Amino acid sequence: MDPIIKLSDNAANRIKEIMSDVESKSIGVRVAVKSGGCAGMSYVMEYAKEVNPTDEIIEDKGVKVFVDAAAVMYLLGTEMDYKKEEFSSSFVFNNPNESERCGCGESFKISYYLYTYQHGKLCISSVQVSYEQI
């Protein structure tokens, strides 16, 4: 089974760097999704100080990433990268499930297609999902 999130080498190296600078109580980073932003949802990263019973744990390239259970359906197949540019640096989520992203790149929206068979015909409906709906 493919992991929920794949880490690029840059992301793994940056997580190693920031984990080496934090207090010893942190055991990794936690990735979640929250409601907000122009497009409806945004990614959240924070230090994980403990394992939540419902966390999905990704161990890759020498780092631990804890994925909040409520975020799993939004993150399936996502690659987490780290980009460093002249005036900024940030973690970037390359999420194949995104149907929209706001102009600044801070929030996103997910659409799923619902396939049903009604009255002898295949019907396809687009369903926009927001974090408040789960």
Residue 115's domain is classified under what CATH number? 2.60.300.12
Report the alpha-carbon distance of residue 93 to residue 91 in Å, rounded: 7
Domain count for the chain, please give it: 1
Question: pLDDT tens for residues 58-82?
Answer: 999 999 999 999 888 888 888 999 9
Q: How far apart are CA 51 and CA 69, in angstroms?
A: 12
58 token code pair:
């990704």
Look at residue 13 in the predicted model and tell me its pLDDT.
Answer: 95
Tell me which residue range forms the domain holding 17. Answer: 5-133
Task: For residue 91, give the nearest of 2, 8, 1 by alpha carbon.
Answer: 8
User: Which residue has 């939004």 as its token pair?
Assistant: 74
Residue 129: both structure tokens together: 């999902």
Model-wide pTM > 0.85: no
Do the beta carbons of residue 4 and residue 80 sit within 8 Å?
no
The per-residue pLDDT for range 86-106, each reduced to its tens digit, is 888 888 888 887 766 666 656
Both tokens assigned to 77: 């197949």
Check if the beta carbon of residue 81 is closer than 8 Å to that of residue 11: yes
Greatest Cα pair distance, the chain, in angstroms, is: 61
